[in-house]
Amino acid sequence: MSLNNKKKNLKKTKIESTISSLSSKKEDAFDDIEKKLYDTLNAVELKKSMDRWLKTTEGRQATILRDLGILKGINEEYLDSFLVLGYTMDGERVIMQSYKSPKEKDALMEFLKVVFLQNHHGGFDEWVVI
């Protein structure tokens, strides 16, 4: 009788360990599937976000370039050569320059040096500053 009891206990232990190992494998498989699914969803969402950002950025850049072109055209009506330094509303640096010859460019750069030196040493009291 005791041999029969040992066989029953042995079978019961084997079956339980087999069931738990199968259960563990199923959980691992589900975890792998879940991870792959989340990775795929994240990749799709990232691509959508990048596409939206590119469309927004391209549209904004086109608008900025159009507006700067209009501003440059207006300034060219009144000024022979000029240099505009500033920032956009988004904090991006803008440098707009217009000159027709290397001589005008040199004169503009020399004038810019004078402006910086004058500003450093006191101010623009006798200048027309707009």
Q: Are residues 112 and 123 in the same domain?
A: yes
Q: Are residues 84 and 125 in the same domain?
A: no
Domain that holds residue 15: 2-98
Long-range CB contact pairs, 105-113, < 8 A, 24+? 105/81, 107/81, 108/81, 108/82, 108/83, 112/83
Output 107 or 78, whichever has higher pLDDT: 107
Phi, psi of 92 (to 5 degrees): -85, 140
- Asked whether residue 41 carries a pLDDT value surpassing 80, the answer given is no
> pLDDT digits over 42-80, tens only?
777 878 888 887 788 787 788 878 887 888 888 777 788
Q: Are residues 81 and 117 in the same domain?
A: no
Give the whole-angstrom CA distance, residue 114 versus residue 19: 87
Give the chain's domain count: 2
Phi, psi of 11 (to 5 degrees): -60, -45
Q: Are residues 104 and 94 in the same domain?
A: no
Give the whole-angstrom CA distance, residue 130 versus residue 114: 17
Whole-structure pTM value = 0.43
**pLDDT-wise least confident of 28-42, 85-99, 113-127:** 113-127
Q: Are residues 55 and 74 in the same domain?
A: yes
Q: Are residues 35 and 90 in the same domain?
A: yes
Q: How many CB atoms lie within 10 A of CB 91?
A: 6
Output 47 or 109, whichever has higher pLDDT: 109
Among 104, 102, 86, 83, CA closest to 94: 86
- Asked whether residue 13 carries a pLDDT value surpassing 60, the answer given is no
- Asked whether residue 112 carries a pLDDT value surpassing 60, the answer given is yes
Tokens of 101: 């010859």
